[in-house]
Structure 1
Amino acid sequence: MSTAKVDLFNQYFQIDETVDVNLKTIADHLVPIDNDALELRIPPLFKLANEVNALEQSALRPLRQLGDLAEELAQFLKAQSRKIDLIMAHILATEHQDEQKTQAHSFGGGGLILNDLADHSIGQQFCTKIFLHHEAAAVFCYTEVILKEPLTQGWQYTMAFSRIRPEDQELMVRASLHSQSRQLRKRRKNEQN
């Protein structure tokens, strides 16, 4: 496989954390040729979930400038938003039952790493749905197998994004950094006990 694709994948930080993924193998010609074509294929529910997430972020920023009184209001709004996020995450997770459901054990801005029993070739394209439960968001994109390593049972695949919206790739980067922060807090807590 092209070392350029591996190099591009490695430019992004990867975090070891499990995320739910739906995969559907597709032929190369079915990968959208540009972001406009990708936008047309993204299911409306995925767009809605990410818009809700973006609205929450932009709505809370002005409250931070109001001082201490706004803190309680911000906490209330975060709780309300979290309820909506949980409902959206559940609805998204139950969509598209016909696809292969699996879990990636590592993710980041360059793609995913996952184990699978199925034998896919390098270059195999997938229509991919990634469910980021901690972010209450989901990403609809296309991935390609760029590395394949044998395991005792099955294979470990490194899957790079072959087509992803820039805002979704940014979401993947943010999610990996948030995951690292959670892991660091957990480690500190364990060391203190």
Structure 2
Amino acid sequence: MFTDSTPYFSVMHDFTVYLTLWPEDSPLPSESELKFMLPTGLLLISDVKALEADCLIQLRHFDDEAKSIVDYLKLQSRKIDLVLQHVIEQEQHEGEQHHGVSFGGSGIKIIGNAELEVGNQYKITLHIKEELIALLCFVKVSSNQVVDASDDASNAAESARYITELEFTQILDSDVEQLVKASLSVQQKHLKYRKLAQKAP
């Protein structure tokens, strides 16, 4: 289980996250306890991802003649992922919904009207639809940065928005791996779009 502060690359991307404040007097769950906390939908997608990863490792040993079979199996795998994502989206989610703006293997950033207290621990459910990621983990508030504050001092408190940085404190190693791969995938897409934009007349 990931519990250190190893720095990872992060990328700007929109996603949805649900936050539930974790009691100060409650210890964070162990790896087995965290797995037990997973709802059915997240447990299914976690198991499917693990099976897919094992299969892809085996498929790498195939020669070029089997490439069409590998591509077909990847397509079927993606279909299953999409169905599971749809099922998860229909479920009721515990916690307060927030808008994510950046993610990576070390943590996430969210934006909203509320200033979260630095040091507080939260249980979160994270959904990155485009990358077919849905996971549950724990984070700690490390910083808040004010953005979009009104020039009118009387309304500044009401109009202020905050970029909040959340560091992972308890997350499964397999989920960190998913996030790292997804951040690289998003970065590649950004670079591709940028090149296409530069070529456009």
1:22-61 counterparts in 2 under 5 A? 22-61=18-57
Cα deviation for residue 33 of structure 1 reads: 4.1
Q: Is the 8 A contact 2:115 2:144 kept in 1?
A: no
1:125-140 counterparts in 2 under 5 A? 125-140=121-136
Q: Which runs of 5+ in 1 are unaligned?
A: none
The percent identity for this pair of structures is: 27
Q: Is the 8 A contact 2:18 2:94 kept in 1?
A: no
**Equivalent in 177, 184, 192 of residue 185 of structure 1:** 192
Match of 1:156 in 2: 163
| Distance in structure 1 (CA, Å) of the matches to 2:199 and 2:57 | 33
1:102-145 deviations in whole A, cap 9, x for unaligned?
Answer: 22100111111111112321112211011122332211001111
The alignment status of 1:99 with 2:95, answered yes or no, reads yes
| Distance in structure 2 (CA, Å) of the matches to 1:165 and 1:82 | 22
Cα deviation for residue 98 of structure 1 reads: 4.5
Please report the TM-score for the alignment, with normalisation by the length of structure 2.
Answer: 0.82
Letter in 1 for 2:196: K
Q: Which runs of 5+ in 2 are unaligned?
A: 150-159
| Distance in structure 2 (CA, Å) of the matches to 1:165 and 1:115 | 25
When residues 178 and 171 of structure 1 are mapped into structure 2, their CA distance, relative to the original with a 3 A threshold, is same
The alignment status of 1:175 with 2:182, answered yes or no, reads yes
Q: Which moved more, 1:83-92 or 1:59-68?
A: 59-68
Over aligned residue pairs, what C-alpha RMSD do you find? Answer: 2.2
When residues 64 and 12 of structure 1 are mapped into structure 2, their CA distance, relative to the original with a 3 A threshold, is closer
| Distance in structure 2 (CA, Å) of the matches to 1:178 and 1:30 | 36
Match of 2:11 in 1: 15
Count residues in correspondence: 187
When residues 98 and 66 of structure 1 are mapped into structure 2, their CA distance, relative to the original with a 3 A threshold, is closer
| Distance in structure 2 (CA, Å) of the matches to 1:61 and 1:190 | 35
